[in-house]
Amino acid sequence: MLLITNCMTVRKTLTSIVLAGALALGGAGCSNNPEYHFNGKIGEEQVKFYEKDLANDNFLEVVKADGSKVKYGDFDDDFRLDHVQITVGDNTTKYNANSTNPMAKGIVKKAQKEFDDYLTKITDIQTAPLNRE
């Protein structure tokens, strides 16, 4: 009976260790691009960059000074947008990079430039202490 109790204790301990490891992998501890993690103001805009799904998906959310919102999504960690979602008032529209609609592709192309510009601004802010004399 003592052997069964000890085996059950070991099994529970191992299960706890495996579960803790799985939770750690799925949480904020995994990151491919920590240099871009940001949540703050850039000028008049509220800007947030974060990663999801074991750090393979990058998201940049921007709340503009006029209250409109733009969410940029990159699903395969290549920093090429897969979609952009724009919210103005109560209206939200999502534009996909792989759309057959040339207008949607044009909007994603313009959003790509904005996305790249925000990443540059984030890098400038994050590295500002290195650039002081």
| Residue 19 confidence (pLDDT) | 39
Whole-structure pTM value: 0.74
pLDDT at position 27: 43
Which domain, by its residues, includes 20? 1-30
- 115 and 66 share a domain? yes
Give residue 124's pLDDT.
93
42 in a domain, yes or no?
A: yes
How far is Cα of residue 121 from the mean position of the Cα atoms in its chain?
16
Both 20 and 38 in one domain: the answer is no
Does residue 69 form part of some domain?
yes
Answer yes or no: do 114 and 65 share one domain.
yes
**Does one domain contain both 21 and 50?**
no
Tens digit of each residue's pLDDT (9 = 90 or more) over 51-87: 997 768 999 999 999 999 999 999 988 999 999 999 9
Task: Kindly tell me if the per-residue pLDDT of 17 is higher than 50.
Answer: no
Whether the CB-CB separation of 50 and 37 falls below 8 Å is answered with: yes
Question: Do 83 and 43 share a structural domain?
Answer: yes
Whether the pLDDT of residue 39 is over 50: the answer is yes
**CA 65 centroid distance within chain:** 21
Question: Could you tell me if residue 133 is inside a domain?
Answer: no
Any domain includes 59 = yes
Backbone angles phi, psi at 88, to 5 degrees: -125, 115
**Terminal Cα distance for the chain, rounded:** 71
